[in-house]
Structure 1
Amino acid sequence: MGNGSRVFAYLRASTADQDATRAKTMLDTFCHEQGASISGYFVENASGATLDRPELMRALSFMQEGDVLLLEQVDRLTRLKSAEWEKLRAIIEGKGIRLCALDLPFTFPVLEKKDSVAEDDFQQRIMAAITGMMLDVLAAVARKDFDDRRRRQKEGIAKAKEQGKYAGRKKDEQKRNQILVLRERGLSYSEIEGLLGCSRRTISKAVRGV
């Protein structure tokens, strides 16, 4: 990439039990194939339906004009309602940050080196217009998907309650027992995370019997 532009990856998972770094290797490989490298990672476990995301805000605050925010998918950035998406988009555009998402091939050129400043400026203006339009559409789709899933979940729970079948979330007893055995053997939380692929929160809940 030319003109001192840097690439920063934003990785997000919705809950503490999910691995927010799952796509890190994929993003690294993609950048390498594009002849670029990732200068830093911003990782967090938070819902995409809220702007209360410290790592995302830290990334946007740290990044400079011309830098690229790399995403696995657009829904990693937003599942926001329309008004909140407009606020987030205004921050991104106001700082001159460019977006690249693996599910949007037309954003890949932001990682390419340009032959001339004129070509770079011309293509950037075209890409900014196209990206802005497509992001609005995909942000709306991501929000609709979020709302639909929540609605179906509520409907399913309500139906199960009517039939007397709903008992809340089932605990993974096998995983819980594995955690307890490993703790009894003196393994640390980090060691258990590595062996079982579960989160620190899951380990803590198992140890506390929650």
Structure 2
Amino acid sequence: MATFLYARVSTSEQTLEHQKTQAEQAGFKFDHVIADHGVSGVSVLMKDRPEGKRLFDMLRSGDTLVVRWVDRLGRNYRDVTDTIEEFIRRGVVIRTIINNMTFDGATTDPMQMAVRDALVRFMAATAQAQAEATKEAQKAGVANARAKSDDAYRGRKPSFSRSQMALVLDLDGKGSNVSEIAKATGLSRQTVYRIKDDAAGAEKALASWGL
């Protein structure tokens, strides 16, 4: 009977050493360390990972599998529940470092089995929900950063409309002074000067904002 530590290191913030240290500090001793690096727990099933497949081949009845939490097995609800159920059928004991939880096939009591299976499903669902929430937060962050970048590229939004700009240029061409144009268009004198002095720039600003 052997004890395995399985680690999945999917981001730069995670390390194998950190997961090993956590296990050792929790009192676990293991004979084998199996780790998949840079593998998504959402899109890559446990059996399809290089080391995950190796783990399936190595585990035998009576062995103990230690994981930091069920999210290291995966963040896909169906995959996690299928993996845990398969290991339990083989007679493997699964233990988590966080909360020191144990899942095995030792009990034959229907009620205890139902509670165990419900807990496995709850934890698997939580792992997937966390992954989906993280993905949505990342998408929102990317969209926000892109919007800020676009705004910086476009510059300040024009304080005048295309019709106001056209009226400024028309009145200026007819010889109206700045004060008269400002009054007629409802724009400030400074804005009128900017349009008069750089009509091409004013047009570019409107176009970049889709106005």
| TM-score w.r.t. length of structure 2 | 0.59
Q: 1:7 to 1:128 in 2, by over 3 A?
A: farther
Verify: 1:84 aligned to 2:79, yes or no.
Answer: yes
Equivalent residue, structure 2, for 1:31: 27
Please identify, of 38-47 and 82-91, the stretch whose mean Cα deviation from structure 2 is larger: 82-91
Whichever structure has more helix as a proportion of its residues is 2
Q: Which has the larger radius of gyration?
A: 2
| TM-score w.r.t. length of structure 1 | 0.59
Structure 2: runs of 5 or more not aligned: 152-211
Structure 1 stretches of at least 4 aligned residues deviating more than 3 Å after TM superposition: 15-18, 120-131
Equivalent residue, structure 2, for 1:142: 127
Aligned 1:108-147 pairs, distance under 5 A = 121-122=106-107, 129-147=114-132
Q: 1:6 to 1:88 in 2, by over 3 A?
A: same
Tell me the matched-pair count: 148
Q: 1:127 to 1:98 in 2, by over 3 A?
A: farther
Q: 1:21 to 1:90 in 2, by over 3 A?
A: same
Q: 1:59 to 1:104 in 2, by over 3 A?
A: same
Equivalent residue, structure 2, for 1:48: 41
Query: Aligned partner of 1:44: which letter?
Result: D
Verify: 1:63 aligned to 2:55, yes or no.
Answer: no
Q: 1:162 to 1:75 in 2, by over 3 A?
A: same
Contact 2:5 2:65 in 1 (8 A): yes
Q: 1:138 to 1:43 in 2, by over 3 A?
A: same
SS of equivalent residue, structure 1 residue 164:
helix
Aligned 1:142-181 pairs, distance under 5 A = 142-164=127-149
- Give the fraction of aligned pairs with identical amino acids, expressed as a percent: 24
C-alpha RMSD over aligned residues: 3.1
Contact 2:73 2:80 in 1 (8 A): no
Q: 1:26 to 1:38 in 2, by over 3 A?
A: same
**Aligned partners of 1:55 and 1:31: how far apart in 2?**
24
CA offset digits 1:60-82 (Å, max 9, x no partner)? 220101211101122111211x3
